[in-house]
A and B are shown apart, each in its own frame.
Chain A
Amino acid sequence: MSKTAIITAKDVDVFYGDKQALDKIALDIPEYKVTSLIGPSGCGKSTFLRCINRMNDLVPIARVEGDIRIAGQDIYAPEVDVVALRAQVGMVFQKPNPFPKSIYENVAYGPKIHGLAKGKTEMDELVQWALEKAGLWNEVKDRLDQPGTGLSGGQQQRLCIARTIAVKPKVVLMDEPCSALDPIATAIIEELIDELRQNFTIVIVTHSMQQAARVSQRTAFFHLGTLVETGPTKNIFTSPEDERTQNYITGRIG
């Protein structure tokens, strides 16, 4: 286990009913780095990601076994407050899903329910900080009171990122955040991810090998519910140890 790992997963099994979706996953995720999860469709990337902030709790038939720790704390321990956990581990979804409220309210919602800002000026500052971090401030500062759903897809996704980081989580999980975006919006988000790594640990699921190579420092390759290989992104893409990884990144399976 590397010394700087903030998330450590050991022996993680996930079942949907009788069907096993993840089998004995063991993965360390280092702090202030971008880790990408790659693998063919249906291999369990999203399932693993959703284990990290316990979004799988929402699926009645899902059952998670094993041990996942964040900063040493077992997040599946019975005394864990899921609401507090999700404030620490934010999530950005595949399809931009801003609340049908104003841009300002979208960003202020998290801090409001978690009581992170006292008074209006503090909240204004926090909203501005989050939007600046998400690279959206200059585009929306004159129309903060307009609906977030009125932005373009790429802007909406950055709004969702701003909304997530406004809560100042330790970890940000992103499930194919660019799959609904055009190349230019994708490039903006990728740049943004690179910057966010200063303050946050990021885990990103992606179907684009190029994206994984561009934004991540570490890569984990999943196949049929198992973790095949993990290591520095450079190594995975240049000299994979497993044949399946080799086949996948060269486009032979997927």
Chain B
Amino acid sequence: MTDLISPSSQLKGRKSAETRFQWYGRGAIFVSLLFLVVMVGSILTKGVGAFGTTNVAIEVDLGPDAIDPANPADARFEKIVKDALKTQFPEAKKRKDRRMIYGLLSNDMGFELERFVEANPEAIGGTATVWFRASDDFDAVAKGAVDRSLPEDERRMSDKEIAWIDQLTEQGAVERTFNWSFFTNGDSREPELAGILSALMGSALTLLVCFCISFPVAILAAIYLEEFAPKNRFSDLIEVNINNLAAVPSIVFGLLGLSMFLNTFGMPRSSPLVGGLVLSLMTLPTIIIAARASLRAVPPSIREAALGMGASPVQATFHHVAPLALPGILTGTIVGMAQALGETAPLLMIGMVAFIVDVPDSILEPATALPVQIFLWADAPERAFVEKTSAAIIVLLLFLVTMNIIAILLRRKFEKRF
């Protein structure tokens, strides 16, 4: 018998190798966590600003000179607000100063007043204090995002404007609230009005189309290939091609969509329908590969048991094998959908890059998608879009997290021991 006690130097070497490996592993995890924290942290710190908005209370005159009580809808609301601003800041006499005081509020001030009057018709005839949304530059000052120590010509707001804002703040006429309209508005040229809803809906509709096409097709293809198709050269060829398809750059699918769906079939441009079709071309191979792998992982004894009972192959597959493979199939589907959600390039090719203000409510209307919206905002010149960009990324990440949670819940529900 050989000596069980090996020379101590060998033992030490093995032990230190093991310890070293464990530390390498921990280091790798630490580095990846660090990246994650830095990335999410920077996005969060940049983006939170966009979830707040600044409101300003202005006293407006809704007397008979401004609004005809018999016909309030015909009033020139924007002029009423501007007059109120002029009254508030009588020192602004020059055209340039006037423009500056109008610029304190968002471009929507006329609509905001109109909405107020519609909601409070009893206010007509007197004066009323109405909350207006501040402009993006005002918002930046109110948030303290403007460095007052900089020389005047190096910052967006002049000393005069800042003085007005301070004056309003002292009067208690400025408040910061949660920016609900970020979630209820579509895109806009004005950062303070721009919202994510149109892109969010666009993404949701596109993913819905993508899911409805790729999920059933992929599952049927995977089940057929795995459970029924004869194993020969031809099925090997198909397998290789599916694997290759999964590696094709997404922009190629965009080009295909452009020439096929738009030019040949004449489907509506920029619509979630076409977007979903193109993305499903991309997710199909991903789901097929995942589904086949999880079908293959079902123990053959389950198939034998069912067939030995006299179940037909279709019954054996759908009663026993597919349900066991479902958790794995769902995981693959979520991975595919997450890829689709973050995909920009093919959507640019089919025109989902347009400036879309209206929230799409069908798959045939022009729409944009979250990643495209991020791309557009990141490109916009206004300072305030920088934080909108981060906020949109946060929304995209939340969308992803929600999808993952749904997948985990579904998986829990279907997971069974065997």
Residues of A with Cβ closer than 8 Å to B?
Answer: 53, 55, 58, 60, 83-87, 90-91, 93, 95, 97-101, 109-110, 113-114, 147, 149-150, 160, 163-164, 167
Contact = CB atoms under 8 A, between A and B. Distances in A.
30 contacts: A53-B308, A55-B304, A55-B307, A58-B307, A83-B311, A86-B307, A86-B308, A86-B309, A90-B308, A91-B304, A91-B308, A93-B304, A97-B301, A97-B302, A99-B302, A100-B324, A100-B417, A101-B416, A109-B311, A109-B319, A110-B310, A113-B311, A114-B310, A147-B416, A147-B417, A150-B417, A163-B305, A163-B309, A164-B308, A167-B309
Interface string B291-322: 00000000101111111111110010001100
A149 B301 contact: no
A55 B315 CA distance: 16
B63 interface: no
A97 B307 CA distance: 12
Interface in B360-385: none
B308 to A, nearest CB: 4
A95 B310 CA distance: 19
Chain B interface mostly: helix
B418 interface: yes
Given A85-B310, A86-B310, A150-B417, 4 more contacts: A91-B308, A100-B416, A109-B311, A167-B309
Contact of B301 (A95, A110, A147): A95
A87 B310 contact: yes
Contacts of B315: 113
B230 interface: yes
Interface string B223-250: 0000000110000000000000000000
A106 to B, nearest CB: 9
Q: Sort A-B residue pairs by CB-CB distance and give the 6 closest, nearest first.
A: A87-B310, A97-B301, A86-B310, A100-B418, A91-B308, A100-B416
A83 B313 CA distance: 9
Contact of B310 (A98, A101, A150, A167): A167
Contacts of B417: 100, 147, 149-150
A91 B304 CA distance: 9
Given A60-B231, A97-B301, A100-B418, A90 B309 contact: yes
A149 B305 CA distance: 14
A174 B43 CA distance: 64
Interface in B146-175: none
A163 B320 CA distance: 15
Contacts of A160: 305
Contacts of A58: 303-304, 307
Interface in B372-418: 416-418
Contacts of A55: 304, 307-308
Contact of A83 (B301, B310, B324): B310
A100 to B, nearest CB: 4
A149 B306 CA distance: 15
Contact of B305 (A87, A97, A167): A97
Contacts of A101: 416
A99 B304 contact: no
A95 B231 CA distance: 27
Nearest to A94: B301
* Max count, chain B CB within 10 A of own CB: residue among A99, A101, A167: A99
* Max count, chain B CB within 10 A of own CB: residue among A55, A91, A97, A164: A97
Contact of A99 (B230, B306, B307): B306
A99 B323 CA distance: 11
A145 B131 CA distance: 62
A65 B311 CA distance: 24
A191 B417 CA distance: 30
B418 A149 contact: yes
Nearest to A106: B305
B415 to A, nearest CB: 10
B190 to A, nearest CB: 58
Contacts of A83: 310-312
A249 B306 CA distance: 35
